[in-house]
């Protein structure tokens, strides 16, 4: 195993989160190197669609990596429930914002971040897989599998893991919702007018997110139904989806169908000796209310702020401080999404009435609606 020169901070994962972390840390003068197991071409073909809050846009603008021309603004959100009364509408104008959020492809965001990383001279090394990490006195030794198949060792003061999942043994909170997210792009019969829908049904929530002239759809269904729908023709899928929407929007065609299981998984500790886990490697949330990637960006920003002027960014005291600072936001986002899923995914008559009353209260009391909207947009940063 050969040894490369020591860098201050190494980042595993050159997706949007890893690149955002690199830029945020570089902004404060840290020497950063990014590694990714994928080839550059593969990393650039990220097929996900992301829903970013206005707060995330502000963070990306500070990194000079906001792809404004590629983002579709969400100016209004209508929240409804199937089989019960009550609804509420959240308006960007009421929050005094140009938009509540934005929808864009992960590949477009990654391209903007990559371009900025190149302009800043941040090294991004593809086809380098992290295979080991060993903390030692004053540094961490990271083993990498190189494109030629050999092993190299890279020393650093801190390793950020921005890819991978949480092993069962490292998770302090786990919940299998027995649901799958069905993903597709859908063409509406009439222009969406930058209106997003969050529709709660007894089988799980449905989100329609304006994406160009179409909708990006996240449709939650029981796991047992997901496979049957994935095997069904587009016409059957479309009929079932329009039925669940109850006329709120009429969709005429769909494409790019995919699905994945849903659950809650929180890492017991998001730091260890000279190592920090970020994004899905730290927490995986249900996609309801679109909190996951926005929370991850806030994690990145808080870490960069914690490490300002740090001569040793991997010191135990600094990492402990970062972990404490992120506890409220992480637990709040996880608890909020978990509560929404469990309280709205039931057909009990009492819960239907309670949900309706809650939506009516949000619609009737602007201060309460503003409170909820700001926490969704900014997370714990919005708390007094």
3-state secondary structure of 178: strand
- Rounded to an integer, the average pLDDT of 97-107 is 96
Of the pLDDT bands very low, low, confident and very high (cuts 50, 70, 90), residue 382 is low
Across the chain, mean pLDDT equals: 90
Q: Is the pLDDT assigned to residue 372 strictly greater than 80?
A: no
Q: Of 34-43, 128-137, 360-369, give the lowest mean pLDDT range.
A: 360-369
Instruction: Catalogue the E-assigned strands of the chain.
Output: 2-12, 32-36, 49-53, 72-74, 76-81, 87-91, 101-105, 124-126, 129-136, 139-145, 151-161, 171-188, 195-201, 204-211, 214-222, 251-267, 271-272, 275-277, 283-284
Q: Is the pLDDT assigned to residue 256 strictly greater than 90?
A: yes
Q: Among residues of the chain, what percentage have pLDDT more than 70?
A: 94
- Residue 27's pLDDT is what? 95
Q: Is the pLDDT assigned to residue 362 strictly greater than 80?
A: no
Q: What is the pTM of this model?
A: 0.92
Inter-residue contact 44 to 109 (CB < 8 Å)? no
148-204 pLDDT, tens digit each: 778 999 999 999 999 988 988 888 888 999 999 999 999 999 999 999 999 988 888
- Rounded to an integer, the average pLDDT of 351-372 is 73
3-state secondary structure of 107: helix
2-38 pLDDT, tens digit each: 444 446 999 999 999 999 999 999 999 999 999 999 9
Q: Is the pLDDT assigned to residue 384 strictly greater than 60?
A: no
Inter-residue contact 333 to 326 (CB < 8 Å)? no
- Residue 370's pLDDT is what? 78
- CATH classification for the domain delimited by 2-47+106-170+264-340, as one of 3.40.605.10, 3.40.50.150, 3.50.50.60, 3.30.110.30: 3.50.50.60
What secondary structure does DSSP assign to 112-133, as a single string? Answer: HHHHHHHHTT--EEES-EEEEE
Q: Is the pLDDT assigned to residue 353 strictly greater than 70?
A: no
- Residue 355's pLDDT is what? 67
Domain extent listing, the chain: 2-47+106-170+264-340
Token pair in block for residue 148: 């030629």
């Amino acid at each position: 195993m050969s040894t490369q020169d020591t860098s201050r901070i190494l980042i595993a994962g050159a997706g949007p989160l890893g690149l955002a972390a690199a830029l945020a840390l570089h902004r404060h003068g840290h020497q950063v190197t990014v590694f990714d197991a994928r080839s550059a071409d593969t990393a650039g073909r990220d097929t996900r669609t992301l829903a970013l809050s206005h707060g995330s846009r502000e963070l990306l603008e500070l990194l000079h990596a906001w792809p404004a021309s590629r983002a579709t603004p969400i100016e209004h959100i209508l929240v409804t429930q199937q089989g019960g009364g009550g609804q509420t509408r959240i308006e960007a104008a009421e929050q005094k914002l140009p938009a509540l959020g934005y929808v864009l492809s992960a590949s477009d965001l990654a391209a903007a971040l990559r371009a900025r990383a190149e302009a800043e001279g941040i090294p991004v090394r593809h086809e380098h897989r992290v295979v080991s990490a060993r903390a030692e006195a004053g540094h961490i030794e990271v083993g990498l599998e190189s494109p030629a198949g050999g092993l190299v060792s890279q020393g650093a003061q801190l390793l950020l893991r921005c890819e991978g999942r949480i092993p069962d043994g490292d998770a302090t909170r786990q919940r299998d919702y027995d649901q799958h997210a069905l993903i597709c792009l859908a063409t509406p019969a009439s222009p969406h007018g930058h209106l997003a829908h969050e529709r709660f049904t007894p089988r799980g929530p449905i989100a329609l997110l304006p994406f160009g002239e179409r909708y990006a759809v996240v449709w939650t269904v029981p796991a047992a139904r997901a496979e049957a729908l994935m095997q069904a023709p587009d016409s059957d899928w479309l009929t079932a989806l329009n039925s669940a929407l109850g006329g709120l929007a009429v969709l005429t065609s769909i494409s790019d169908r995919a699905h994945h299981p849903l659950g809650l998984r929180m890492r017991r500790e998001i730091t260890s000796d000279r190592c920090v886990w970020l994004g899905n490697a730290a927490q995986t949330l249900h996609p309801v209310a679109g909190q996951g990637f926005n929370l991850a960006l806030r994690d990145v920003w808080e870490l960069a702020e914690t490490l300002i002027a740090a001569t040793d960014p991997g010191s135990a005291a600094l990492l402990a401080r970062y972990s404490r600072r992120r506890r409220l936001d992480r637990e709040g986002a996880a608890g909020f999404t978990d509560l929404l899923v469990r309280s709205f995914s039931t057909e009990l008559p009492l819960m239907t009435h309670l949900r309706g009353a809650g939506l009516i209260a949000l619609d009737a009391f602007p201060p309460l609606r503003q409170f909820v909207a700001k926490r969704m947009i900014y997370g714990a940063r919005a708390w007094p």
